[in-house]
Copies of this chain bind each other. A is one copy, B any other.
Amino acid sequence: MKICIVGLGLIGGSLAKAIKKNTHESCFGIDIDRGTIAGALAQEAIDGEMTIDDLAGCDVVIVGLHPEATIKFITENADKFKKGGIVLDTCGVKGEIVRAVEGVCIENGVNFLGCHPMAGREFSGFAYSVDNLFEKASFIMTPTDRTPMRVVQEISRLAYNIGFAKVVVSNVEEHDSVIAFTSQLAHVVSSSYVKSPSLLKQAGFSAGSFKDLTRVAKLNEDMWTELFLMNRGPLVDEIEHIIARLTEYRDAIANNDAQRLHDLLKEGRELKELSNNS
C-alpha cells in the first residue's frame, strides 16, 4: 500500500514514524516547510517527498492539516487523488469536515473517511512527533451511509497495524457531541482555570490536582479556535452545563449547607467511579 501524509506536524509526523516503525507500507510526505521535509527524510519517517501530482498514485492519503486547511486542501485537490483510493483527515471535529469534503470526493471517484486519532501533546510540529504517540490511543472513524464497507475495513486494519489501542466506529453527530465533552470542554476549562488572580502565587502551594487541571491550557490557539467554532452547538451546551453545576457548588458553599455540599461531592465521586468502569 502506498500512503502519503499531507502535513507532517505533530499528528502527521507521528503517524509517519509509527507507519515506518510498525508496518511494511510505503509512506511519503508533503509539507510546505522545507525543514520539516528534510527532518522527516533524515529521521526516515518518510520514504520520500511527493508533489500534488504524485497523489494520483497513492492508495491512501492522510491529510494532517488543521481543520480549515484540511477542507481547502481536499476540495481544491479532489481531482488529483487516485480514483477508488481513500482520503482521510485527522481533525478533532467531524461534522463540518465531512459535510464540506465528502461530496466533492465522491464526485471525483474518491472515497473520503472522516478520522480522528485521539492523541496529542502540549506541543506542535514535526519536532515533537514520536513513533509511540498512539500506543494507548483510540482511532475514531465516522463513516457515513455513502462510505463503502471495504474502506472502513481497510482503514481499521491500517490503524491497528499503526499501533492504535482501539478503533472506534462512530458517526459525525455522536463524535462531535461526545468530543465536545471529553476533549473540547477540558481545554476550555483548563484555559479558564489559569486566569485566576491567584495564579502567580501558586508556586509551592500546588500538587497534582493543579497540574492536572491546567495542563492543556498550553494549547495551539490557532487550531483550537477552528475546532471550537466548528462545533459550537455541542460545546456551548457543555460549557453551560458545567457553569450550572459549578453554580450549585458555589451556592452550597456560600450557604454553608454541609448536607447539600456532601451530596454534590458524593454524586461526583460515584459518577467518576462509574465512568471508570464503563
Q: Is B245 a contact of A192 with CB atoms below 8 Å?
A: yes
Q: What's the Cα separation between A87 and B118 when bound, in Å?
A: 50
A214 nearest CB neighbor, chain B only: B272
Q: Out of B177, B213, B256, name the residue touching A229 (CB < 8 Å).
A: B256
Given A189-B193, A243-B246, A261-B225, A198 contacting B180 (CB threshold 8 A): yes
Given A214-B272, A246-B239, A229 contacting B200 (CB threshold 8 A): no
Q: Is B188 a contact of A249 with CB atoms below 8 Å?
A: yes
| Chain B residues within an 8 Å CB radius of A181 | 196, 198-199, 201-202, 210
Q: Taking the complex as formed, is A160 at the interface, i.e. its CB lies under 8 A from any CB of chain B? A: no
Given A198-B238, A207-B182, A213-B213, A188 contacting B246 (CB threshold 8 A): yes
Q: Taking the complex as formed, is A154 at the interface, i.e. its CB lies under 8 A from any CB of chain B? A: no
For chain A, what secondary structure do more than half of its interface residues adopt (helix, strand, loop), or is it mixed?
A: helix
Q: Contact flags (1/0) for A202-225 with B, using CB distance below 8 Å?
A: 111111111011111111011011
Quote the shortest CB–CB distance from A248 to chain B (angstroms): 8
Q: Taking the complex as formed, is A104 at the interface, i.e. its CB lies under 8 A from any CB of chain B? A: no
Kindly specify which of A16-24, A144-152, A262-270 makes contact with the partner chain.
A262-270
Q: Taking the complex as formed, is A183 at the interface, i.e. its CB lies under 8 A from any CB of chain B? A: yes
Q: Taking the complex as formed, is A253 at the interface, i.e. its CB lies under 8 A from any CB of chain B? A: yes
Q: What's the Cα separation between A250 and B183 when bound, in Å?
A: 15
Q: Is A240 a contact of B250 with CB atoms below 8 Å?
A: yes
Q: How many copies does the complex hold?
A: 2
| Chain B residues within an 8 Å CB radius of A52 | none
Q: Is A182 a contact of B206 with CB atoms below 8 Å?
A: yes
Q: Is A229 a contact of B261 with CB atoms below 8 Å?
A: yes
Listed by A's residue number, 30 A-B pairs whose Cβ atoms lie within 8 Å are A137-B207, A140-B204, A175-B205, A177-B198, A179-B205, A182-B198, A182-B206, A182-B210, A183-B205, A189-B193, A189-B242, A192-B242, A194-B271, A195-B245, A195-B267, A195-B271, A197-B241, A199-B271, A200-B278, A212-B213, A212-B216, A213-B213, A214-B275, A221-B266, A225-B265, A228-B261, A229-B256, A232-B253, A236-B254, A239-B249
Closest CB pairs A-B (n = 3): A191-B268, A181-B198, A186-B209
Interface residues in chain A, defined as those with a beta carbon under 8 Å from any beta carbon in chain B = 118-120, 137-138, 140, 166, 168, 170, 174-175, 177-183, 185-210, 212-219, 221-222, 224-225, 228-229, 232, 235-236, 238-243, 245-250, 253-254, 256, 258, 261-262, 264-269, 271-276, 278
